[in-house]
Structure 1
Amino acid sequence: MNTHDSTTHSQLTINAQKSEFNEDQATCCQISIRKNNYGKGEDQEWLILCSTEYLTGYYWALFDGHGGPEVAIMASNYLHYCIKQKLEEVVGGITEEHPPMHLNGQHVCQSDPQFVEEKQIRQKDVVIGALEQAFQECDEVIGQEMEAASQSGGCTALAALYLQGKLYVANASDSRALLVRKHNFIPLSTEFTPETERQRIQHLALMYPELLGDEFTRFEFPRRLKGDDVGQKVLYRDYSMQGWGYKTIEKDDLKYPLIHGHGKQARLLGTLAVSRGLGDHQLKVIETDIEVKPFLSCIPKVEMFDLTEQNIKEDDVLIMATDGLWDVLPNEDVAQMVRSFLEDNKTDPYRYS
């Protein structure tokens, strides 16, 4: 692991023989989170005192760009700053097992601790909230920068943060994180594609039909409908359905589907193969004014893995990769390759890189 102060970052070796200005970017760094000392005065208010004490976290992230390298480069340079900032804003809540309801130390209600306990709010929940907010802030800044430069583009984002003995994996992409152990492997992320997020996307279209611009239908059908299907009962799915039903086809159903295709060919509004990521604020469906961004969420799904409860060994490895790897290799093959390589190269000091 290569670590640096949070003011710098290191470029990992990816896409060998390409220039640094390619659409796949990565970052690895140490994040130092300033931890203020708090003291109680006679008026029961908390006084913030100067402190050089830090919580130290370690951060790794992958960014898979599309429409150009600009957003992937910006995200690789900026997301860890957003995470540091958001963690420092709530550091008083992540140093306690049961976060205080008020970071200024006062209880508006004497039952505040009880309410926090009833909601089962833990330290990890505050870290997860900080990560979610950091992704959102990074996305907003990217949107402003790209608009000012009259550029377009986006990227997916997969980030891992090791903090206080816990590994947090935040995914807004179709990338994947996999913990490979001696006898098993543990998926640490959930992938997001137009197909896996069909119900969220369809429900958004139901609530805001104007987003479809009278060009798309939110319903899903097994195939693209034709004029001959009008009046026929055809299999379909809507946002509320896991299963399939039958619908009498009307003329409006012949519009292009909101989500069309299957597997790697599935596209959101016929344009994007991903449903979460950063950027794409200026992206529109070709030859229309329909914006893709309202359907493209920047909020990651965060999974937490408590390493203090696991007997982690030297050869337990976290694999983070974009869809370029997972399109051709299943988890089982990746895990076996890692185990075999480490076993065959025990004396090589550079075997992890």
Structure 2
Amino acid sequence: MSAGWFRRRFLPGGPLPEPRPAGPRSSPVPYHRPRFLRGSGSSPSATDASRRPDPRPVRSPARSRTLPWNAGYAEIINAEKSEFNEDQAACGKLCIRRCEFGTAEDQEWLTVCPEAFLTGHYWALFDGHGGPAAAILAANTLHSCLRRQLEAVVEGMMGTQPPMHLSGRCVCSSDPHFVEEKGIRAEDLVIGALESAFQECDDVIGRELEASGQVGGCTALVAVSLQGKLYVANAGDSRAILVRRDEIRVLSSEFTPETERQRIQQLAFIYPELLAGEFTRLEFPRRLKGDDLGQKVLFRDHHMNGWSYKQVEKSDLKYPLIHGQGRQARLLGTLAVSRGLGDHQLRVLDTNIQLKPFLLSIPQVTVLDVDQLALEEEDVVVMATDGLWDVLSNEQVARLVRSFLTGNREDPHRFSELAKMLIHNTQGKDDGATGEGQVSYDDVSVFVIPLHSQDQGSGGH
């Protein structure tokens, strides 16, 4: 997409963008909703959603379909921002096989146990940008990448400290001291597996989209339960929080243009050709105008957390890479709709500036030691895409969760009902529990994961 497109799309006063085509562009995978929504009974097809009297129905799994841990799920499509829901979701059981070194000369991994050696559970949300293709690919791919990465380290995960050599040999007498000195724990192997899985999935999506001539991308928010711990990996601006009776704990670190500002500016500093002469990497409190020429104004560059002053030159009047602040900050000059923020693999195609249009390669991972919590029945993790958090704060969501679960203890489907209720509170109902009547026009997808009954309702798909 060209710089002109970004001016029309994001800058006030410009012409409106041309209407989108009636359907998605040719995609490496067909458009569909998550498999666990089949039979939900409220599933408009992609082509007739905009013609229904209610084009934004809230959908959740059929009551006969149980998700892992009896988790709840609900989703709603955007208010005609795009023809298709660009969010995707996946969940299920991870069956991790035990592997050992073989006796062959090439020392390849050989599967010695056909049955599952270790099991875990997996929930994931993907928010597509520039179309649903990357999110669908990620929903179909990331769990397989994660299983492979975990199988490669599962032997090392079984002890308190991972051994230096999985073969069991002690090549160096200082190996145990070395591992202890580094403070490497079993959970570090899971974190490494998650990071490697994101990278592997990133490569898969890249090949598929390039082969089909597509651009686009997605964010990813993943929760994995393994060995009594919940690992939450995030790349993008979705969010996960733990809600307890007296506690709200944020479980994910959000990637936004503002949080990624310095990294993006540094890349533009190292590779100025990526700006194609149309943008400035410098950040100013507002878009500069011709009247600012020669004035000293506040600015900051890639090496700065604070601010300083500089005399405005003509080059400073170019479009800024980063515009706005907080969750509303946007990237101008990079393909913002592709992943919501910049990455280290920007590239120039003719006069267009694009970024690597896939997942963010390096997730931020938070570990929740569930076994160490004195869990109560209403303790849940809420995972949602940014459409929810743009309207509701952590405190508002927690208040809604506590109120709903306290009054619905006997409903076996209460967690999906809770997910639906959270979405209803983003639809501008003045009589809603928040009393604010705000509307989210984005796609919204919500998982509610109960922590108390971990060993029950462990079905997967």
Distance 1:263 1:47 in 2: 47
Q: 1:80 deviation in Å? A: 0.4
Q: Which of residues 190, 193, 198 in structure 1 aligns to 2:253?
A: 190
Q: Which of residues 76, 94, 103 in structure 2 aligns to 1:15?
A: 76
Q: 1:260 deviation in Å? A: 1.6
Match of 1:250 in 2: 313
Q: 1:21 deviation in Å? A: 6.1
Distance 1:104 1:276, change over 3 A: farther
Structure 2 residue 211 is matched with structure 1 residue 145: no
Match of 1:92 in 2: 155
SS in 2 for 1:75: helix
Distance 1:15 1:257 in 2: 33
Structure 2 residue 392 is matched with structure 1 residue 329: yes
Q: Which of residues 124, 132, 135 in structure 2 aligns to 1:61?
A: 124
Gaps of 5+ in 2: 1-65, 417-461
Q: 1:345 deviation in Å? A: 0.9
Identical-pair percentage:
59
Name the TM-score, length of structure 1 as normaliser.
0.87
Q: 1:275 deviation in Å? A: 2.2
SS in 2 for 1:36: strand
* CA RMSD in angstroms, aligned pairs only: 3.1
Residues 172-230 of structure 1, C-alpha deviations (whole Å, 9 max, x = no match): 01010011101111110011110111112112222222222222221111111223323
Match of 1:50 in 2: 112
Q: How does 1:165-184 map to 2 (within 5 A)?
A: 165-184=228-247
Contact 2:84 / 2:132 at 8 angstroms: preserved in 1?
A: yes
Distance 1:230 1:107, change over 3 A: farther
Match of 2:12 in 1: none
Gaps of 5+ in 1: 5-9
Contact 1:79 / 1:134 at 8 angstroms: preserved in 2?
A: yes
Distance 2:269 2:156 in 1: 38
SS in 2 for 1:312: coil
Match of 1:7 in 2: none
Match of 1:120 in 2: 183
Q: Which moved more, 1:260-269 or 1:152-161?
A: 260-269
Distance 2:359 2:312 in 1: 28
Distance 1:50 1:292, change over 3 A: closer
Distance 1:296 1:289, change over 3 A: farther
Letter in 2 for 1:2: L
Residues 1-54 of structure 1, C-alpha deviations (whole Å, 9 max, x = no match): 6149xxxxx995422799x963111111000011236899xxxx9996722341
Distance 1:350 1:49, change over 3 A: closer
Distance 2:78 2:305 in 1: 45
Letter in 2 for 1:346: R
Distance 1:326 1:17, change over 3 A: closer
Match of 2:271 in 1: 208
Contact 1:11 / 1:26 at 8 angstroms: preserved in 2?
A: no
Distance 1:153 1:48 in 2: 37
Q: 1:57 deviation in Å? A: 0.8
In the alignment of these two chains, the number of paired residues is: 340
Residues 110-139 of structure 1, C-alpha deviations (whole Å, 9 max, x = no match): 212211111111111111111011011101
Q: Which moved more, 1:51-60 or 1:166-175?
A: 51-60
Distance 2:365 2:245 in 1: 25
SS in 2 for 1:84: helix
Letter in 1 for 2:367: M
Distance 1:324 1:181 in 2: 23
Contact 1:12 / 1:26 at 8 angstroms: preserved in 2?
A: no
Q: 1:103 deviation in Å? A: 2.1
Name the TM-score, length of structure 2 as normaliser.
0.68
Distance 2:384 2:395 in 1: 15
